Amino acid sequence: MVNSGSNNVSVIDAEKNRVAATIGVHGRPYFIDVSEDGLRGYVANSGSANVSVIDLAKRVVIANVRVGPAPGLARVSPDGATVVVSNRGDNSVSLIDSKRLEVKATVGACEQPEDIAILPDSSKAFVACSGSGQVASIDLKSDTVLALLDVGKTPVHLTLKPDGGELIVTNFDSDSVSIVETTTNEVGGSYLIGTKPARGIVSADNARLYVSNFGSNSVAVYDIDYGKMVATIPVGSQPDGLALSQSQNYLLVLDSQSGDVTVIQKRKPRKLEPTEYSLLTMIPVGVQPNNIVVKSFLLAVPVRK
């Protein structure tokens, strides 16, 4: 957990529900990503223009790598070789060699680079540029920008399909999502999805896209195969982060203004209940939550006889 106000990172023992360690980093840490092997954490320090590299086994900082001004995200590739950093202060992207712990290239991207998605084979990174309504495609082998793709206004979040074939871009000020073909670097189309879409998540079978509509207090369900919206589900106030249970039968929606989590159940339609989705419960969690992840999910549900 990143603590921006105190310039440190907390390591939480999920089994014992307690803070196991607190690690000091640099100015205004903004985002943390963890390598797939769980050995390293990378913290973007927005106030000190660097990335702190943490040995998670020893729980110590092993390097602070200088990048561009106001780094927002530091995303590590699935193969662990490259860390991609979006520098909001000078509209650039830094590419860190994780073995040498140094910047191997800095490329000009587009205005206000923020969210980052990296393909499962670690060949490309995509960067959302909220200021120019574009997504930059970056080749991680040659460290070059391959294309600048025009999407909607204020792209704020990138969601890869699990197979990596398509990238879904949520365009906050266009009330739409754009679908990017990752192999060809082409925008396949843009579709109205709801008011002020904030986050998206794709089901494990690549069939359904769920989008939190921050401005209309709802979640849109988009069928990727058929290319159309199939449901709009009311939730709490200003929904933001999304997570699916391991079974894919429950969608958890973080409501940032109302301070709760909406739990939506997906099930096979019944004769008298034709919809697949139903609001199961709302769980209070605290003031202004902004992200959610699922380790395990256990819920007792009454069964009709």
- Are 184 and 200 in contact by the 8 Å Cβ rule? The answer is no
User: Do residues 255 and 236 lie in contact, with contact meaning Cβ atoms separated by under 8 Å?
Assistant: yes
290: pLDDT confidence band, cut at 50, 70 and 90? low
Domain of 203? 193-295
Q: Assess if residue 6 is contained within a domain.
A: no
* CB contact set of 192 (below 8 Å; sequence gap of 6+): 175, 176
Query: What 8-state DSSP symbol labels residue 287?
Result: S
Range in 36-40, 94-98, 241-245, 284-288 with the lowest mean pLDDT = 284-288
Number of domains in the chain: 1
Residue 231 lies in a domain: yes
Pick the more confident residue, 148 or 1: 148
- Residue 207: give its domain's CATH number: 2.120.10.30
Rounded CA gap, 120 and 125, in Å? 10
Mean pLDDT of the chain: 88
Query: Can you give the C-alpha Rg of the chain in angstroms?
Result: 20
Distance from first CA to last CA of the chain, Å, rounded? 44
> What is residue 32's three-state secondary structure?
strand
- 49 contacts 38 by C-beta, under 8 angstroms: no
Q: For residue 158, tell me if it sits in a domain.
A: no
In the block, tokens 């990596």 appear at: 164
If you average pLDDT over residues 255-261, what whole number do you get?
A: 89
User: For residue range 14-28, what is the model confidence (pLDDT) as tens digits?
Assistant: 667 677 788 888 888
- What confidence score (pLDDT) does residue 90 get? 94
Average pLDDT over residues 168-185: 97
Among the listed ranges 29-33, 90-94, 180-184, 194-198, which one has the minimum average pLDDT value? 29-33
pLDDT band at residue 32 under the 50/70/90 scheme: confident
| C-alpha span between 94 and 66 (Å, rounded) | 9
pLDDT at position 305 is 38
Q: How confident is the model at residue 300 (pLDDT cuts 50, 70, 90)?
A: very low
Q: Is the pLDDT of residue 179 over 80?
A: yes
Domain membership flag for residue 126: no
304, amino acid identity: R
pLDDT band at 272 (very low <50, low <70, confident <90, very high): very low
